Structure 1
Amino acid sequence: MSEEKINSTFQESPVEVSPADDGEILEVRHYTPQEIAASGKWYDQRYFGLPSYSNSLVQVVMLSFVLFLCPGCFNAITGLGGSGISDAVVADHQNIALYCTFSVGIYSGIVVNKLGPKICLMIGGSGYLIYVASLLNYQRNQNVGFCIFAGAYLGVCASLTWAVQGSMIMSYSSEDRKGLFFAVNWIIFNVGTVIGSCIPLAQAIQTGTSSASTGTFAAFMALVGCGIVVASLLLPMDKVYKLDGSKVVASKYPSIKSELKGMYHVLVREPKIYLLIPMFATSNWYYTYQFNDFNGGGKFDLKARSLNSLLYWFSQMVGALLLGVILDWGRFRRSVRAKIGWVVVFVLGMAIWGGGLKFQLGYDRDSKLTAMSFNDRGYIGPMFLYMFYGMFDAMYQSFIIWILGSMSNNPRKTAIYASLYKSFQSAFAAIVWALDSRKVSFMALFGSSWGMCGGSLLIAVPLVFFMITDHTDMEKDGMKEILEDDVVVVKTIEEREIKAEDA
């Protein structure tokens, strides 16, 4: 395609340019819908006025439905407390195994760059399928060994799933739409969890049992199987176009050596990433308190726990949408939006956890409790508190992904960012699940969760307030080598303006 065919209609997003050593300017090539459709491929065509299948937002929606059906079902089960089985200690040990193998998944970014999103998501889905199958088996045969194996296997698979998610969200979106992409992804993902939570809620109302039934787990297995099928329909990364008409292209057939060099660059030459590690570590720490101790600590019966779980994940959608709008607010530069986002997350987080203190002061592990149902007096307050916990979680996770996305548009680099994020997240999750299995007090787990949320945000201040730029420099980001023929070299700023007028 000739260099002159640059689409002037795709200039709503900021153009990524950077001065090279010789004074040249590098500009990402933008393609018109007509130029994209000229390939003749079915996935580049627009039918009934809808975006083409190769549109990056369409592909992220497809990814979101995979998460809807796989991790969404996992979250619905975990949110029941004790993974919905009769022995919470077995669930703790299973999750310890899961997060231990998940925590060493720093390699997953390399695997995603090597195999591509489709294969990695299909492998990831198999882990969720085996996990649910182990819970079904436990309900019938009390096979603890299978549960532990399934947890460990899921840890490996989940590291691939979430490395793909992070990489696609960060690299498929233009710089001014990263909040939108995360919000769309998180909302669809949590719709799956909400729908999944309806299954045990309906069965709990009907049967009144204290743990999920075999029918519940069988239904989840069917949903996860559908997720694997959806994953097989994803396009390769080099077939996808962003909303501004630029291509999403990763290096073809990257060598293991080049991937290790890329990881070395991130870990050694970009020390600012270490300011986010406390946020990485915190992002799943509080799940153990919320799921096993708040919602599964004997305070609620299964009907109330199921409703709590449903509302928790519904509130995640609200939180993701709210912060996504703030982080994409076009009235402000990206560096300013980062500061606004930090203030919103910090203030709301401290208010919500502060509100949770009064509730937690009322009971602990040794308290003799009568399980509360959703039609009992006194239920409404804890219900809204749990909803606010869910909203905060979505905002906290969203802010992490947005910060990482502001640091790079390079798919190879963002996959490494995502795997690093999930590795630390899972390593600390394994620690807190182990603490819970050793019967550490609810107050200790609550206090550590609150303190880590506030402390991690404060540690991130130097990065958020002083290191986030308004645009990501292509040359420093390594995009010239990645995009190859899709970079336009313009000699002067004046020549660039003339080309834009002629296009």
Structure 2
Amino acid sequence: MADEKQVMATKEGDAPVTATAPADPAIRPSGWMYKGFKVGKNEVWYASPIFQLIMVAFVCFLCPGMFNALNGLGGAGQVDTSAQTDANTALYSTFAVVGFFSGSIANKLGVRLTLSIGGLGYCIYAASFLSYNHNQNRGFVIFAGAFLGVCAGLLWTAQGTIMMSYPPEHKKGRYISYFWVIFNLGAVIGSLVPLGQNINSIVGPVTDGTYVGFIVLMLLGAILALFLCDAGKVQRADGSKVILMKNPSWWTEIKGLFETITQSPWVLLLFPMFFASNIFYTYQLNDMNAAAFNTRTRSLNGTLYWSSQIIGAVIFGYALDYSKVRRTVRAKASLIALAVLTFVLWGGGWAWQKKQATREVVEDTAVPFVGVDWTGGGDAYIGPMFLFMFYGFFDAAWQTCIYWYMGALSNSGRKAANLTGFYKGIQSAGAAIFWRLDGLKTPYNTMFGATWGLLGAALVFAAPVIWMVIKDTVTLEEDLKFSDETLRDVAPTSQLPVGKEADV
């Protein structure tokens, strides 16, 4: 950097600290994209945390966003939901295994390559249902689900690492909401495609064109991931960098996986919340949307469901970053809000569910079941429509809070990757179990009760961590205990402790 000058920074009671600042303020990080700051020899204007997060959000817009739109149709657009149920059981089973180790993989390969490899599985998943429309090849659908589980484990771990470790502490909630808004816009727009193509369809699977559209968009997402910059080049507005491990090996990453637990054993209390974070999709998408509504209404419901997630993410994301209230107070308030939502919303859901047709009636092949249409009126459609929308709001609130809790526990990119790996692995284990229960034709009422009960129990287990472990800030020194980085590697010179500007 040209023409640097020495400045003196003094703190009360301390000796002067020598720091380095650029003479020309025009090349300092500024603005929401930090246009013009230096990385190596080139100006990489897109290397700011916010721009990198937006790029990741668009990757997820095109890959898991479209996957959510496809699954939001119920049965991935098929009349018989059993093929999609088997595929999702395979998906979340492999996801659960890969998820535990995907943090180590992301730390070794880097988030850019990990994210791109992860995106490829989504294309194959959508292609398997296009194939199924013509040849009923269930084996290919199940294989595609299992392969997507491997890829999704990689993609979501890379995404979580970026979302939790790139932002400054006081902006983590809103960064999570930015991601969730863009990501769910993918599901909203993805739901509008089948809604338009199936506007006159009362029965039958969705059209081939729907699946082709999903395949193309998912492929674009995998390609977009290659244009991210490496985590080591990302720099925040205050000059600090993301904490990474120098020259990580497979052994150091496997060791780090266990250190996450041994150094922070309280994280085990968050595991039930991780486990419960995707189990509600089985009931909501298959046992409510696919079971109670006809083809075109399912498409409309999917659009409303993912739109409601955007609202939930914005409200909770900004509330979690409300700077006039201490972070510890915000954490406790969010737990109380989740508890109220869980018991009020799911209590109302039970009042609706207990009046619905049983699985035996809905899936009786001798007498085809015709679901409710959007023209059904207040009691038949409007009430459950709003219930389904609030389920989407609840999903975003739950997921946003989990990411925020993990981000509040550490600012280290390395530790964030391992935490996310645990999160996605355990989350997927829960999803695999519930998709399997659905495949075994478990009664709808039982699926509802098991989902609601686990959500409530998860909040009880997580309460001690949220109440006592989350602090108002996490010091740099505390994060560096988990890495072989030094203060010099991650902190701006002006923020180094006295006497540390030359010896770290």
Same-fold status (TM-score > 0.5): yes
Matched, 1:277 2:271: yes
> Which residue in 1 is equivalent to 2:132?
138
| 2:316 partner SS | helix
Letter in 1 for 2:178: V
Task: Give the whole-Å Cα distance in 2 for the aligned partners of 1:338 and 1:153.
Answer: 37
CA deviation after TM superposition for structure 1 residue 269, in Å = 2.0
> Which residue in 2 is equivalent to 1:185?
179
Change in Cα spacing, 1:87 to 1:325, as seen in structure 2 (3 Å) is: same
Change in Cα spacing, 1:234 to 1:361, as seen in structure 2 (3 Å) is: same
Change in Cα spacing, 1:121 to 1:486, as seen in structure 2 (3 Å) is: closer
Preserved CA contact (<8 Å) 1:174 1:242: yes
Change in Cα spacing, 1:140 to 1:271, as seen in structure 2 (3 Å) is: same
> Which residue in 1 is equivalent to 2:299?
306
CA deviation after TM superposition for structure 1 residue 366, in Å = 2.7
> Which residue in 1 is equivalent to 2:391?
389
Matched, 1:217 2:211: yes
Letter in 2 for 1:463: V
Matched, 1:435 2:437: yes
Letter in 2 for 1:490: P
481, 485, 497: which one aligns with 1:482: 485
Greater displacement, 275-284 / 343-352: 343-352
Preserved CA contact (<8 Å) 2:27 2:38: no
CA deviation after TM superposition for structure 1 residue 209, in Å = 4.2
Matched, 1:407 2:409: yes
1:441-484 CA-to-partner distances (Å, cap 9, x unmatched) read 11111011111111111111111111111111222212774354
1:278-313 CA-to-partner distances (Å, cap 9, x unmatched) read 00000011110001101011x100111111111000
Task: Give the whole-Å Cα distance in 2 for the aligned partners of 1:240 and 1:218.
Answer: 36
Matched, 1:160 2:150: no
Task: Give the whole-Å Cα distance in 1 for the aligned partners of 2:86 and 2:460.
Answer: 32
TM-score, normalisation: structure 1: 0.89
Change in Cα spacing, 1:120 to 1:35, as seen in structure 2 (3 Å) is: same
Greater displacement, 149-158 / 114-123: 114-123
Matched, 1:326 2:328: no
| 1:87 partner SS | coil
Letter in 1 for 2:311: V
Change in Cα spacing, 1:288 to 1:25, as seen in structure 2 (3 Å) is: farther
Change in Cα spacing, 1:24 to 1:200, as seen in structure 2 (3 Å) is: farther
Letter in 2 for 1:248: V
250, 258, 280: which one aligns with 1:256: 250
Change in Cα spacing, 1:38 to 1:345, as seen in structure 2 (3 Å) is: closer
Task: Give the whole-Å Cα distance in 2 for the aligned partners of 1:146 and 1:385.
Answer: 35
> Which residue in 1 is equivalent to 2:43?
44
> Which residue in 2 is equivalent to 1:231?
225
Letter in 2 for 1:143: N
> Which residue in 1 is equivalent to 2:95?
102
CA deviation after TM superposition for structure 1 residue 213, in Å = 1.1
CA deviation after TM superposition for structure 1 residue 84, in Å = 1.0
Preserved CA contact (<8 Å) 1:410 1:482: no
Change in Cα spacing, 1:442 to 1:404, as seen in structure 2 (3 Å) is: same
Change in Cα spacing, 1:236 to 1:453, as seen in structure 2 (3 Å) is: same
> Which residue in 2 is equivalent to 1:63?
56
Matched, 1:335 2:324: no
Task: Give the whole-Å Cα distance in 1 for the aligned partners of 2:18 and 2:332.
Answer: 28
CA deviation after TM superposition for structure 1 residue 438, in Å = 0.7
Preserved CA contact (<8 Å) 1:80 1:309: yes
Change in Cα spacing, 1:442 to 1:209, as seen in structure 2 (3 Å) is: closer
Task: Give the whole-Å Cα distance in 1 for the aligned partners of 2:26 and 2:123.
Answer: 39
Give the number of aligned pairs. 473
**RMSD of the alignment, in Å?**
2.6
Matched, 1:125 2:119: yes
CA deviation after TM superposition for structure 1 residue 249, in Å = 4.6
> Which residue in 1 is equivalent to 2:86?
93
CA deviation after TM superposition for structure 1 residue 40, in Å = 7.2
Task: Give the whole-Å Cα distance in 1 for the aligned partners of 2:7 and 2:198.
Answer: 61
Task: Give the whole-Å Cα distance in 2 for the aligned partners of 1:386 and 1:437.
Answer: 22
Matches within 5 A, 1:430-469: 430-469=432-471
> Which residue in 1 is equivalent to 2:46?
53
Task: Give the whole-Å Cα distance in 2 for the aligned partners of 1:180 and 1:271.
Answer: 28
Structure 2 gaps of 5+ residues are 30-35, 363-368
1:393-434 CA-to-partner distances (Å, cap 9, x unmatched) read 000011111110111111011000001000000011111111
CA deviation after TM superposition for structure 1 residue 343, in Å = 1.2
> Which residue in 1 is equivalent to 2:70?
77
> Which residue in 1 is equivalent to 2:498?
491
Matched, 1:375 2:375: yes
TM-score, normalisation: structure 2: 0.89
Letter in 2 for 1:436: D
Change in Cα spacing, 1:202 to 1:26, as seen in structure 2 (3 Å) is: farther
Task: Give the whole-Å Cα distance in 2 for the aligned partners of 1:343 and 1:116.
Answer: 37
CA deviation after TM superposition for structure 1 residue 261, in Å = 1.8
CA deviation after TM superposition for structure 1 residue 41, in Å = 6.6
CA deviation after TM superposition for structure 1 residue 386, in Å = 0.3
Greater displacement, 179-188 / 472-481: 472-481
| 2:305 partner SS | helix
Preserved CA contact (<8 Å) 2:39 2:233: no
Change in Cα spacing, 1:4 to 1:180, as seen in structure 2 (3 Å) is: farther
Preserved CA contact (<8 Å) 1:237 1:249: no
CA deviation after TM superposition for structure 1 residue 42, in Å = 9.0
> Which residue in 1 is equivalent to 2:192?
198
Letter in 1 for 2:213: A
Preserved CA contact (<8 Å) 1:29 1:486: no
Preserved CA contact (<8 Å) 1:282 1:428: yes
Preserved CA contact (<8 Å) 2:86 2:436: yes
Preserved CA contact (<8 Å) 1:43 1:53: no
